[in-house]
């Protein structure tokens, strides 16, 4: 058998006419990408055959975002080829890590939701579950962030130029998608027949990214659809003299898969977004139905063989699209079609924030998707009728799918899915007790919880090989295969020598990060200082501002009151949505603090602020292993789960957080002694809102708050001031930074004092690593597979 590295050599010879010793790094990169993809294709052939023969049920995961991260290392690692490739390259004068660095980070997502989708694909595949992901092949992923003079600037992320080698184009599986036009109703002997006329047609081309499992047989597919104009369709219109309409297809196709909307946890309400959502859900549904029909010659058993998962409401148009296909193309009656649809879909909610619950104006929606609109309206009519019959009329104001001329996508998902889940215990409780209370009453048992999880193979085994190899030697269990086994580390929680070893590894990871910080920002940081990390999207509810207020507090105390705290490096990474002015202001504020502190000969010995630009998966892999403190300080009740908190814990960082999202479960796992919890709880936040939160009262009654805020008014660096932020906090402060300020500052002091006791800190850190097993995406996805999807592994 020809070895993998022989194939690399042969590719270089035939493609570039070079032997490996004459090849460039760029050529070696291409050879590795292409040959890894081929290897996965071969493997997939066997897997697919088994899957087809078994005729078992399969899961399809619909998501507008898959934040894939670099693929080459993940694939080589999972295929067990990394060592062989590394040695081969070294022998020929190449460093594998440098080759990895050539790969663009496919940023086909914004943050947590998109990364979760990718973690789940990795985990399901590693466990041999049959799952296909569907999304859009965005030409430009999440923008590249450049910080210029403290301000965020956005640049296009042209990832496809070097990133496309991993993709397989499947021209044989193109499908047609229809927009605009009008519907016509006609009574025939078979009943009401609906036709869609004068539409504009676009083609969806499939590109497959093959996902490898870790030491598993499965190779699953992430199918990414790319839009192109329908040339044949245009030609016909042209011949008929409809010139303007003949170019419409080009215009729509040109824009649909152009770029990822950079808004996270926020509803953008734009026509292009509707088109993107329909484009990829229609393409995916058409393919699922077509394949199913080809196998079974009927769709009656669709729900027995297929489960379609909707990742938040962004792919909700799947639901009316399946109705459309069943009604209009396969001539099912409404009742029969609805019976299939309501057994096929499961929906995950990822937010309770009002501004993120998607709503579409009927006036915008209906002209773009006339048939889909008419189906949604009919689903709603029937739902409202049913509510009347069961005596739930008074609750229709909140439950109706169409209300005040707006289509509420979450309501559509709840009514049409057989299962709805939240992403952490707290979040799922809020869904049934508050956000979707009425629905829970009329659909008892429909709601449940699956706490999020992370692909631990990426987030420890690959990004922290030093820690992984140490733990492998110490524990002698295969925790890379099964993360629950890492709990064996708990036995060593009082073992000083193990604690010291872990501390050395942390120091090494901190030194690696310091080097990167120096290169990218010019700032020298002290490796012995506490590395305090807040990395996530920039959002007011996540309260980067509270973190910044504490930094200002420290600055004042050091400068004016002689405070000499344990040296600390505050590290931030965060992208702001391009239209989110306050978020951009907060970045500017943090960068200004960084500059101000660097210029102060005293303060800079105790505090450093580092804002690392362009936070993305690849950068997360550098920062997370080096963290001592994990800042998870959202206002209680607002962060659905968080997943960065899990990655940081697994790498030995201690959580400083509110009782929010999955922090609650981290607290439960490690116990009160191994975590720093502060701030108002969710019921306390609600109570305060009910009684009327007045931030100015906190400002008036606390001199620390007053001094901190008034000091911010005096900051004026290069012409920028932050009075707007101060006024906003005093007058509005929607996420209650002022209410939690004291409790946060006090907890920060406790963090500092604990850090001074190296042994205690080390033991706490060890416990966090040991107790991270339940946060593996293997556990989460197994819950989905068993409790919601009812699918088996491929044997
Ligand atoms: I809705 N989330 C996100 O990243 N983008 C979105 O559009 C929506 C939710 C996040 C939540 O904010 C996190 O709390 C959560 O951990 C993550 O989704 C995955 O569930």
Nearest to 623 by CA among 615, 632, 635: 615
SS3 state at 160 = helix
Summary mean pLDDT of the chain: 96
Q: Please tell me the predicted confidence (pLDDT) of residue 719.
A: 85
pLDDT computed for residue 249 by the predictor: 85
% of the chain residues with pLDDT over 90: 93
Choose one of 61, 113, 119 to mutate for the ligand 1 pocket test, by most ligand atoms within 8 angstroms of C-beta: 113
Q: How far is CA 473 from the centre of its chain?
A: 33
User: Which contacts (CB < 8 Å, 24+ apart) does range 231-238 have?
Assistant: 233/176, 233/201
The whole-number pLDDT of residue 242 equals 83
Distance of CA 162 to the CA centre of its chain: 23
Lowest mean pLDDT among 238-247, 289-298, 334-343: 238-247
Q: Name, in order, each residue with C-beta under 8 angstroms of 465's C-beta and a sequence gap of 6 or more.
A: none
pLDDT digit string (tens) for 581-619? 999 999 999 999 999 999 999 999 999 999 999 999 999
Res 705 pLDDT > 70? yes
453 lines ligand 1 (CB under 6 A): no
- Residue 786 counted as domain residue: no
Q: Is the CB of 356 under 6 A from ligand 1?
A: yes
User: How does pLDDT run across 623-663, given as a tens digit for each residue?
Assistant: 999 999 999 999 999 999 999 999 999 999 999 999 999 99
- Shared domain check, 371 and 352: yes
> Is position 634 within any domain?
yes
Query: Predicted confidence band at 192 (pLDDT cuts at 50, 70, 90)?
Result: confident
Atom of ligand 1 minimally distant from the CA of 266: 7
Give me the residues paired with residue 361 across strands.
406
Distant-in-sequence, close-in-space partners of 82: CB < 8 Å, separation ≥ 6: 73, 76, 96
Q: Tell which of 403, 431, 450 closes a domain.
A: 450
Residues 195-236 have pLDDT tens digits of 899 999 999 999 999 999 999 999 999 999 999 999 888 888
| Adjacent-strand bridge partners of 608 | 569
Please tell me the distance from the alpha carbon of residue 230 to that of residue 369, in angstroms, as a whole number.
Answer: 18
pLDDT score of 187: 80
Cα separation, 190 vs 331, in Å, equals 9
Task: Tell which one of 111, 424, 663 to mutate to probe ligand 1, the residue whose CB is within 8 A of the most ligand atoms.
Answer: 111
662 CB neighbour count, 10 Å cutoff: 30
Residues with active-site annotation:
350, 536-537, 542, 643, 647
Identify whether residues 264 and 359 lie together within a single domain.
yes
Kindly state whether residues 375 and 474 are assigned to the same domain. Answer: no
Tokens at 678, concatenated = 């502060």
Question: Could you tell me if residue 28 is inside a domain?
Answer: no
Find the Cα–Cα–Cα–Cα dihedral 695, 701, 703, 708, rounded to 10°: 0
Our answer on whether the CB atom of 660 is closer than 6 Å to any ligand 1 atom is no
pLDDT at 217: 96
**Helix (H/G/I), strand (E/B), else coil: 519:** helix
Q: How many CA atoms lie within 13 A of 562 on its CB side?
A: 0
Residue 25 lies in a domain: no
Q: How confident is the model at residue 72 (pLDDT cuts 50, 70, 90)?
A: very high
Do 411 and 511 reside in the same domain of the chain? Answer: no
Mean pLDDT of 64-93: 97
**493 shares its domain with 384:** no
150: left (phi over 0), alpha (psi -120 to 50) or beta: left
Q: Could you tell me which residues are beta bridge partners of residue 422?
A: 449
Q: What is the pLDDT of residues 489-510, one digit of tens each?
A: 999 999 999 999 999 999 999 9
Token pair 């292009």 is found at 272
Q: Name the residue with tokens 């048992």.
A: 445
Q: In the structure, what pLDDT confidence band is assigned to residue 247 with cuts at 50, 70 and 90?
A: confident
Averaged pLDDT for residues 151-161: 96
Residues 405 and 543 in one domain: no
pLDDT (tens digit per residue) in 658-699: 999 999 999 999 999 999 999 999 999 999 999 999 999 999
Q: What is the CB-side half-sphere exposure of residue 308 using CA atoms within 13 A?
A: 31
CB of 117 within 6 A of ligand 1: the answer is no
Residue 39 lies in a domain: no
| Percent of the chain whose pLDDT exceeds 70 | 100
User: If DSSP codes are grouped into helix, strand and coil, which group holds residue 347?
Assistant: strand
Same domain assignment for residues 368 and 486: no
The β-bridge relationship of strands 568-573 and 175-179 is unpaired
Confidence band, pLDDT 50/70/90 cuts, at residue 2: confident
The pLDDT-based confidence of 238 (bands split at 50, 70, 90) is confident
Taking the centre of ligand 1 as the mean of its atom positions, its distance from the CA of residue 640, in whole angstroms, is 7
**Are 445 and 487 part of one and the same domain?**
no
Residues 254 and 386 in one domain: yes
Among residues 496, 531, 495, 494, the alpha carbon closest in space to that of 511 is found at 531
Render 184-227 in DSSP notation, one character per residue.
EEEEETTEEEEEEES-EEEEEEEEEEEEEPTTSS-EEEEEEEEE
Domain count, the chain: 2
Residue 86 lies in a domain: no
How many CB atoms lie under 10 A from the CB of residue 355? Answer: 11
Band the pLDDT of 265: cuts 50, 70, 90. Answer: confident
Among 398, 402, 413, which residue's Cα sits nearest to residue 446?
413
Would strands 419-422 and 345-348 be described as parallel, antiparallel, or unpaired?
parallel
Q: Which CATH number does the domain housing residue 343 bear?
A: 3.40.50.2000
- Does the Cβ of 666 fall within 6 Å of ligand 1? no
Structure tokens at 428: 């799922």
* 530 shares its domain with 499: yes
Among the candidates 388, 415, 450, a domain finishes at 450
Phi/psi at 261 (nearest 5 deg)?
Answer: -65, 130
Q: What is the predicted pLDDT for the residue at 1?
A: 57
pLDDT in tens, 733-742: 999 999 999 9
Residues 748-753 have a mean pLDDT of: 98
- Residue 197 and residue 261 in one domain: yes
Quote the tokens at residue 470: 């140490």
Residues 6+ apart with CB under 8 A from 516: 622
In a domain, 221, yes or no: yes
47 is a domain residue:
no
Q: How far apart are CA 350 and CA 662, in angstroms?
A: 12
Tell me: do 430 and 515 sit in the same domain.
no
Centre of ligand 1 from the C-alpha of residue 683, in Å: 22
Cα torsion 637, 638, 642, 645: sign: negative
Q: Cα dihedral sign for 729, 735, 740, 745?
A: negative
Q: What share of the chain is helix, strand, coil (3-state, %, to 5)?
A: 55, 15, 30
Say which residue, 780 or 268, is predicted with more confidence: 780
Distance from residue 112's CA to the centre of ligand 1 (Å): 5
Domain hosting residue 514, numbered range: 456-780
Burial class (CB in 10 A: 0-12, 13-18, 19+), 519: exposed
End of a domain among 450, 474, 507? 450
């Amino acid at each position: 058998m020809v070895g993998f590295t022989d194939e690399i050599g042969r590719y270089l010879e035939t493609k570039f006419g070079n032997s490996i010793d004459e090849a460039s790094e760029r050529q070696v990169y291409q050879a590795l990408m292409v040959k890894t993809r081929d290897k996965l294709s071969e493997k997939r052939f066997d897997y697919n055959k088994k899957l087809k023969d078994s005729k078992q049920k399969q899961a399809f995961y619909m998501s507008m975002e898959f934040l894939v991260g670099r693929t080459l290392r993940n694939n080589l690692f999972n295929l067990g080829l990394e060592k062989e490739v590394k040695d081969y390259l070294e022998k020929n004068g190449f460093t594998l890590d440098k080759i990895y660095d050539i790969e663009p980070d496919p940023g086909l997502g914004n943050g947590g939701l998109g990364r979760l989708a990718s973690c789940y694909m990795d985990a399901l595949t590693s466990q041999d579950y049959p799952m296909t992901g569907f999304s859009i092949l965005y030409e430009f992923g999440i923008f590249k962030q450049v910080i210029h003079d403290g301000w965020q600037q956005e640049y296009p992320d042209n990832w496809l130029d070097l990133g496309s080698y991993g993709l397989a184009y499947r021209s044989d599986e193109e499908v047609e998608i229809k927009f605009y036009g009008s519907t016509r109703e006609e009574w025939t002997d078979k009943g009401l027949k609906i036709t869609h006329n004068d539409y504009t047609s676009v083609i969806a081309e499939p590109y497959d990214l093959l996902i490898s499992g870790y030491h598993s047989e499965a190779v699953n597919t992430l199918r990414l659809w790319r839009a192109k104009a329908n040339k044949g369709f245009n030609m016909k219109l042209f011949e008929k003299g409809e010139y303007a309409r003949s170019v419409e297809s080009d215009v729509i196709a040109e824009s649909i898969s152009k770029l990822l909307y950079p808004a996270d946890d926020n509803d953008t309400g734009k026509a292009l977004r509707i088109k993107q959502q329909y484009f990829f859900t229609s393409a995916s549904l058409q393919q699922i139905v077509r394949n199913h029909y080809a196998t079974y010659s009927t769709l009656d058993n669709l729900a027995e063989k297929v489960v379609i998962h909707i990742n938040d409401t962004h792919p909700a148009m799947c639901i009316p699209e399946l109705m459309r296909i069943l009604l209009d193309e396969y001539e099912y009656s409404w009742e029969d079609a609805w019976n299939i649809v309501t057994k096929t879909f499961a929906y995950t909610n990822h937010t309770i924030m009002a501004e993120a619950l998607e709503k579409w104006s009927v006036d915008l929606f209906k002209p773009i998707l006339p048939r889909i609109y008419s189906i949604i309206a009919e689903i709603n009519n029937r739902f409202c009728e049913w509510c009347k019959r069961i005596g739930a009329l008074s609750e229709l104001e909140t439950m109706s799918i169409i209300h005040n001329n707006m289509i509420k996508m979450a309501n559509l998902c709840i009514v049409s899915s057989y299962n709805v889940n939240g992403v952490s215990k707290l979040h799922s409780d809020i869904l049934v007790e508050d956000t979707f209370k009425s629905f829970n009453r009329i659909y008892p048992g429909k709601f449940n919880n699956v706490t999020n999880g992370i692909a631990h193979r990426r987030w420890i085994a690959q990004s922290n090989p030093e820690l992984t190899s140490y733990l492998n030697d110490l524990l002698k269990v295969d925790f890379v295969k099964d993360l629950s086994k890492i709990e064996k580390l708990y036995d060593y929680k009082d073992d000083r020598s193990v604690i010291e070893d872990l501390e050395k590894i942390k120091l090494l990871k901190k030194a690696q990060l310091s080097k990167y910080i120096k290169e990218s920002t010019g700032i020298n940081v002290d490796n012995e200082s506490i590395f305090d990390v807040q990395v996530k999207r920039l959002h007011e509810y996540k309260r980067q501002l509270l973190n910044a207020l504490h930094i200002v507090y420290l600055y004042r105390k050091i400068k004016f009151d002689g405070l000499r705290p344990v040296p600390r490096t505050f590290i931030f990474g965060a992208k702001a949505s391009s239209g989110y002015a306050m978020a951009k202001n907060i970045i500017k504020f943090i960068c200004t603090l960084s500059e101000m502190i660097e210029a102060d000969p005293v303060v800079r010995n105790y505090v450093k602020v580092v804002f690392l630009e362009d936070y993305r998966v690849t950068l997360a892999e550098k920062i997370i292993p080096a963290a001592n403190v994990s800042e998870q300080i959202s206002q209680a009740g607002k962060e659905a789960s968080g997943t960065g908190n899990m990655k940081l814990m697994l790498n030995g960082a201690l959580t400083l957080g509110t009782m929010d999202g999955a922090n609650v479960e981290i607290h439960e796992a490690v116990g009160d002694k191994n975590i720093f919890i502060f701030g108002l709880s969710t019921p306390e936040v609600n109570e305060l809102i009910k009684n009327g939160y007045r931030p100015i009262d906190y400002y008036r009654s606390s001199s620390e708050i007053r001094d901190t805020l008034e000091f911010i008014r005096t900051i004026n660096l290069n012409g920028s001031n932050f009075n707007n932020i101060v006024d906003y906090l005093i007058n509005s402060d929607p996420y209650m930074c002022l209410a939690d300020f004291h409790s946060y500052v006090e907890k920060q002091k406790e963090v500092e004092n604990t850090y001074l006791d190296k042994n205690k800190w080390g033991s706490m850190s060890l416990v966090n690593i040991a107790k991270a097993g339940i946060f593996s995406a293997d556990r989460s996805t197994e819950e989905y597979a068993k409790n919601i999807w009812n699918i088996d592994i491929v044997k």
